[in-house]
Chains A and B, each alone.
Chain A
Amino acid sequence: MAATTQHAPPAALPGTAPAPAHRTRKAARRRQLGACGVLMAPFFALLVTVFLIPVGTAVYLSFYGDDHPGLGFGAARTIFVGFRSYTAVLTDPTFLSGLGTVALYCLVYIPLMVIGSLALALLLDSGVVRLRASAQLGLFLPHAVPGIIAALIWLYLYTPGISPVVELFAKADITIDFLGLHTVLPSIVNIALWSNLGYNMVVFYAALQAVPREVIEASVVDGAGPVRTALQVKTPLVRASIVMVAMFTLIWGLQLFTEPMLLSQSSPMISSRFSPSMYIYDAAFTRNNYSLAAAASVVLLLCTIALSYAVTRWTSRLDRTEEAR
Chain B
Amino acid sequence: MPGRRSRRSVLAAMAALPLTGALSACSGQGATTAGSTSGTTRITFWSALRGSQQVVDAFNRTHDRVQVDFQQIPSGTQGGYAKLSNAARAGNAPDVATIEYPQIPGFAIDGVARDISGMISDTLKAKLLPQALGLTTFQGRTFSVPLDVEPMVMHYRADLFEQYGLHVPRTWDEFAELAHTVRRKAPKRRLALFPTDSLATPFAAYCWQAGAQWFDTSHGAWNVSLADAPTRRVASYWQKLMDEDVVFVNAMDSRQYDAQVADGLVLTRLTGAWDAGAQMKAQPGLKGKWRIAPLPQWDESRPAVGTHGGSTFAVTKDSRHPEAAMEFIEWQVSHPDALRARLSSGASSQYPAVPGLVPVDRKAFDRSYYGGQDIYTLFDQEARKIRDGWVWGPRMTATGKVMQDGFARVSGGQGSLIDAVRAAQDGTMPDLKALGLSTTQHST
Contacts and interface: CB of A to CB of B under 8 A. Distances in A.
Direct contact, A vs B (beta carbon within 8 Å): yes
Interface of A: 65-73, 75-76, 79, 81, 84-85, 87-89, 91-95, 180-181, 268-269, 271-273, 282-283, 285-289, 291-292, 295
A72 B394 contact: yes
24 contacts: A65-B434, A68-B109, A70-B437, A70-B438, A72-B436, A72-B437, A73-B139, A81-B436, A84-B434, A89-B434, A92-B427, A94-B402, A94-B427, A181-B409, A268-B251, A268-B408, A268-B409, A268-B412, A269-B409, A271-B401, A286-B398, A288-B106, A289-B395, A292-B434
Contacts of B423: 93-94
Contact of B430 (A92, A271, A285): A92
A93 B427 contact: yes
A73 B436 contact: no
Given A269-B412, A285-B85, 9 more contacts: A70-B220, A71-B217, A72-B222, A72-B435, A72-B436, A73-B138, A268-B405, A273-B402, A287-B398
A39 to B, nearest CB: 36
Interface residues of B, number: 45
Nearest to A90: B430
Contacts of A66: 435-436
Q: Which of B106, B108, B221, B433 has the most CB of A within 10 A?
A: B433
A71 B402 CA distance: 22
Given A73-B138, A268-B412, A93 B401 contact: no
Q: Which of A92, A282, A287 has the most CB of B within 10 A?
A: A287
Given A180-B412, A272-B401, A287-B397, A88 B251 contact: no
Contacts of A81: 436
Contact of B431 (A73, A76, A181, A287): A287
Contact of A269 (B109, B408, B426): B408
B98 interface: no
Across the A-B interface, the 10 shortest Cβ-Cβ residue pairs: A268-B408, A271-B405, A92-B430, A67-B436, A88-B430, A88-B434, A72-B109, A181-B412, A292-B434, A94-B427
B111 A75 contact: yes
Given A268-B197, A286-B401, A288-B85, A88 B433 contact: yes
A181 B106 CA distance: 32
B395 A287 contact: yes
B222 A71 contact: yes
Interface in B220-238: 220-222
Nearest to A75: B111
Nearest to B197: A268
Given A285-B82, A286-B397, A71 B427 contact: no
Given A92-B430, A269-B408, A289 B401 contact: no
A51 to B, nearest CB: 23
A181 B394 CA distance: 30
Nearest to A268: B408
A93 B220 CA distance: 26
A268 B436 contact: no
A181 B414 contact: yes
Contacts of A93: 423, 426-427
A269 B409 CA distance: 6
Nearest to A87: B433
B299 interface: no
The DSSP consensus for interface residues of chain A is loop
Interface in B407-436: 408-409, 411-414, 423, 426-427, 429-431, 433-436
A71 B409 contact: no
Contact of A73 (B82, B108, B413): B108
A311 to B, nearest CB: 30
A71 B138 contact: yes
Contacts of A73: 108-109, 115, 138-139, 141, 143
Contact of B110 (A88, A283, A288): A288
Contacts of A89: 430, 434
Contacts of B197: 268
B350 interface: no
A283 B221 CA distance: 22
A92 B433 CA distance: 11
Contacts of B401: 271-272, 282, 286
B71 interface: no
A273 B405 CA distance: 10
Contacts of B111: 75-76
Interface string B96-110: 000000000010111
B431 A292 contact: yes
B271 interface: no
A276 to B, nearest CB: 14
Given A94-B427, A271-B402, A84 B251 contact: no
B196 interface: yes
A298 to B, nearest CB: 13
Contacts of B394: 72
Contact of B437 (A68, A87, A271): A68
Contacts of A92: 426-427, 430-431
A6 to B, nearest CB: 36
Given A73-B139, A269-B409, A289 B82 contact: no
B196 A268 contact: yes
Contacts of B414: 181
Given A73-B109, A268-B196, A88 B409 contact: no
A71 B139 contact: yes
Contacts of B143: 73
Q: Which of B139, B431, B436 has the most CB of A within 10 A?
A: B436
A266 B10 CA distance: 40
Nearest to A71: B217
Contacts of A67: 435-436
A75 B85 CA distance: 17
Contacts of A70: 220-221, 437-438
B436 A84 contact: yes
Contacts of B413: 181
A85 B405 contact: no
A306 B249 CA distance: 43
Contacts of A273: 402, 427
Nearest to B143: A73
